[in-house]
Amino acid sequence: MQIPAPFDYARASTVDNALALLERHGPESRILAGGHSLLPMMKLRLARPEWLIDINDLFELDFIVRGADAQGADTLRIGALTRHTTLLESDQVHALFPIITDAEKVIADPIVRNRGTIGGSLCQADPAEDLSTVCEVLGAVAVIRGSGGERLLSMAEFHRGPYETAVAHNEILCELRFAVRARTGSAYEKVERRVGDWAVAAAGASVTLAADGTIEAATIGLTAVGQTGTVGAAADALLGQLPTEALFIEAGRLASVACDPIADQRGPVDYKRHLADELTRRVLRRATERAHASATSTATQEG
């Protein structure tokens, strides 16, 4: 029977209250969100916090809102306590960032998704965490609060390595911000051994088309194959080009060379490189189709 080691429990009533509790109980206190990564680790004694600060009552962190940011840019803001299920069922998320919906369909299973949160996923920073790749691809900005105030971090600044983020012990990840771009499409695809399992490998892409149909911006991310950040070389190869199958094949090749997978029970290195290649091609195709659709609908609205 797996049961966590003893700890004390406090339920926060507001973000400020949670921050005060983290300060009061010191470095051995941990935020508890959905608990679907932290509780399994505590059962296995991989984590042994002395205090759990439960943030499940913080409805102020459970939201999906579109609006202009401080600079007036069109932005989708997603609260850290938003559950996987809420993201999967959101039409707004699907319309703006289909990569999130693609990923949510294959994250864990429907029941785990009822509890797990986007904030918990990012703070867990497991190398196989699908939403980490999604946020890298979309260039998300993390909003972190501490007693001293708020700071905004890019994903490159946020992710420090496997299971390590820039969120200090006495800070809380409050939201993720995603810039909404015109003529843009995105997609995610994962290969898993069975439903609900972590990725053998997965890829995500976002493609923005210029008015002349060439690729104006592109990002490619890989999951579970030892790739830190987005695959710059593969994305650079696409810039300024017309999207063609030959181009996607080249980007796939570059992605498979750039990543650094390890052999484990989910598969050998060459298989994972093959997946990085194939999945990169597939997400580029789908993201480009969606970018075309988005460009057409924008043109129709304007016309």
Ligand X SMILES: Cc1cc2nc3c(=O)[nH]c(=O)nc-3n(C[C@H](O)[C@H](O)[C@H](O)COP(=O)(O)OP(=O)(O)OC[C@H]3O[C@@H](n4cnc5c(N)ncnc54)[C@H](O)[C@@H]3O)c2cc1C
Nearer to ligand X, 131 or 251 (CB): 131
11 interacts with, out of ligand X, other proteins, none, CB within 5 to 8 A per kind: other proteins
Q: What phi-psi label fits residue 79: left (phi over 0), alpha (psi between -120 and 50 degrees) or beta?
A: beta
274 binds other proteins (CB under 8 A): no
Binding mask 205-244 for other proteins (x = CB under 8 A): ----------------------------------------
Binding mask 135-174 for other proteins (x = CB under 8 A): ----------------------------------------
* DSSP state for residue 198 in the 8-state scheme: P
Residue 163: its H or E element: none
User: Which residue from 94, 16, 2 is spatially nearest to 60, judged by alpha carbons?
Assistant: 16
One residue of 3, 68, 70, 246 binding other proteins per CB under 8 A: 3
Stretch 39-58 residues interacting with other proteins (CB under 8 A)? 39-40, 43, 52, 54, 56
**Pairing status of strand 172-179 against strand 164-165:** unpaired
Q: Which residues contribute to the site for ligand X (CB under 6 A)?
A: 30-38, 40, 80, 107-108, 112, 115-117, 119-121, 123-124, 129-131, 167, 172-173, 196, 198
Nearer to other proteins, 6 or 72 (CB): 6
8 binds other proteins (CB under 8 A): yes
CA distance 188 to 106: 10
Nearer to other proteins, 39 or 152 (CB): 39
One residue of 146, 196, 226, 229 binding other proteins per CB under 8 A: 196
* DSSP state for residue 192 in the 8-state scheme: E
94 binds other proteins (CB under 8 A): no
76 interacts with, out of other proteins, ligand X, none, CB within 5 to 8 A per kind: none
Beta-strand ranges (E) seen in the chain are: 8-11, 29-32, 51-54, 64-68, 74-79, 141-146, 149-154, 159-161, 164-165, 172-179, 184-192, 199-209, 215-223
146 interacts with, out of other proteins, ligand X, none, CB within 5 to 8 A per kind: none
* Those residues with Cβ within 8 angstroms of residue 171's Cβ, 6 or more apart along the chain or in another chain: 19, 22, 144, 145, 146
* Those residues with Cβ within 8 angstroms of residue 124's Cβ, 6 or more apart along the chain or in another chain: 37, 38, 163
Beta carbon of residue 254, minimum distance to ligand X (angstroms, whole number): 25
Nearer to ligand X, 29 or 208 (CB): 29
- By the 10 Å C-beta count (0-12 exposed, 13-18 middle, 19+ buried), 230 is classed as buried
Contact residues for other proteins, defined by CB under 8 A:
1-9, 11, 32, 35-36, 39-40, 43, 52, 54, 56, 108-112, 114-115, 195-196
